[in-house]
């Protein structure tokens, strides 16, 4: 046997190894080719996705810019006001203001004329047409006699109050509903309602003298009215709770410069 000759089984084994190597090489080439194609597809899809994202972003930016431009534009036109409606509204407000002003003036004049608030002070009217002095004479103010006389130097007994007090006025009895006339001419300066003397009227008789008539009702006068001597001031009303025991009476007070004086000093 020739030493340089190899056994036949070795030849067959080498052929097998060569086939295997060729097969592996083919698989490697196919794999490389497949991977290359796969990688190309991935890159292509990634590029397309990036391009789509950019386009979408640009579209969104454009829409946002358009929206901002629409909402911030200076070309928005507001509806114009109806000139007729504005004019009617202004006229209505002006008329309402004038009506309220007229009502306030009327209310003020009414309050000034009646002076019905208790304790209210009213400005003195024109007394140029009246004149009273220490020598003047007063007419008797009511139909009855004196129940309690003026007394500021000592107290007198008030039956209803059951106590002694000073009395700055003359209390004259009378009949409910009888007419009370002015004892002297004067100008009405105050008409008020008090708990003690009820409806009370004050006349400025001039020269610092005033006469106060209390316990009245149905007074037909207003502030500033001139009342001649003997003219009606009102009617005699029911006595207040301060004079319920004394019965119906006229509260008659004379003042000189705001201080009470004895009315009997001026009686006929």
pLDDT at 113: 41
Give CA–CA dist 148/173, Å, rounded.
9
Give CA–CA dist 242/196, Å, rounded.
6
pLDDT at 77: 45
The b-or-e profile of 17-51 (16+ CB within 10 A means b, else e) is: eeeeeeeeeeeeeeeeeeeeeeeeeeeeeeeeeee
Angle at the Cα of 251 (from 250 to 255), degrees rounded to 5? 135
Q: What is the pLDDT along the chain (268 residues), one digit of tens a residue?
A: 544 555 555 456 666 777 778 777 777 776 666 666 666 666 677 677 667 656 655 655 554 444 444 444 444 444 444 455 445 545 554 554 454 444 444 444 434 343 333 333 334 455 556 899 999 999 999 999 999 999 999 999 999 999 999 999 999 999 999 999 999 999 999 999 999 999 999 999 999 999 999 999 999 999 999 999 999 999 999 999 999 999 999 999 999 999 999 999 999 7
- Assess contact for 251 and 197: CB atoms under 8 A: yes
pLDDT at 28: 72
Residue with tokens 């309602």: 193
pLDDT at 13: 64
DSSP-assigned beta bridge partners for residue 261: 254
pLDDT at 210: 98
Give CA–CA dist 52/48, Å, rounded.
6
Q: What's the whole-model pTM score?
A: 0.55
CATH classification code of 146-266: 2.70.70.10
Three-state SS for 78?
Answer: coil
pLDDT at 57: 55
Residue 262 carries which DSSP code? -
The two three-digit tokens of residue 146, written as one number: 């004196």
Three-state SS for 66?
Answer: helix
- Assess contact for 211 and 253: CB atoms under 8 A: yes
């Amino acid at each position: 046997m020739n030493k340089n000759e190899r056994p036949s089984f070795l030849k067959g084994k080498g052929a097998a190894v060569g086939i295997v190597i060729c097969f592996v090489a083919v698989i490697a080439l196919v794999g490389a080719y497949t991977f290359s194609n796969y990688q190309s597809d991935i890159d292509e899809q990634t590029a397309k996705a990036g391009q789509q994202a950019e386009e979408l972003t640009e579209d969104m930016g454009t829409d946002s810019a358009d929206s901002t431009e629409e909402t911030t534009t200076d070309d928005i036109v507001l509806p114009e006001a109806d000139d007729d409606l504005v004019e009617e509204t202004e006229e209505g407000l002006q008329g309402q203001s004038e009506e309220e002003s007229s009502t306030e003036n009327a209310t003020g004049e009414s309050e000034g004329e009646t002076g019905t608030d208790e304790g209210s002070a009213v400005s003195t009217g024109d007394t140029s047409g009246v004149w009273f002095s220490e020598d003047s004479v007063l007419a008797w103010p009511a139909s009855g006699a004196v129940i309690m006389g003026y007394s500021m130097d000592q107290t007198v007994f008030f039956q209803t109050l059951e106590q002694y007090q000073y009395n700055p006025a003359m209390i004259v009895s009378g009949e409910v509903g009888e007419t009370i006339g002015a004892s002297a001419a004067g100008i009405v300066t105050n008409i008020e309602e008090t708990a003690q003397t009820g409806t009370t009227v004050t006349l400025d008789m001039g020269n610092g003298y005033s006469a106060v008539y209390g316990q009245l009702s149905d007074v037909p006068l207003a502030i500033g009215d001139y009342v001649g001597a003997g003219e009606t001031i009102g009617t005699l009303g029911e006595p207040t709770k301060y004079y319920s025991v004394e019965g119906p009476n006229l509260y008659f007070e004379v003042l000189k410069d705001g201080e009470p004086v004895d009315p009997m000093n001026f009686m006929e």
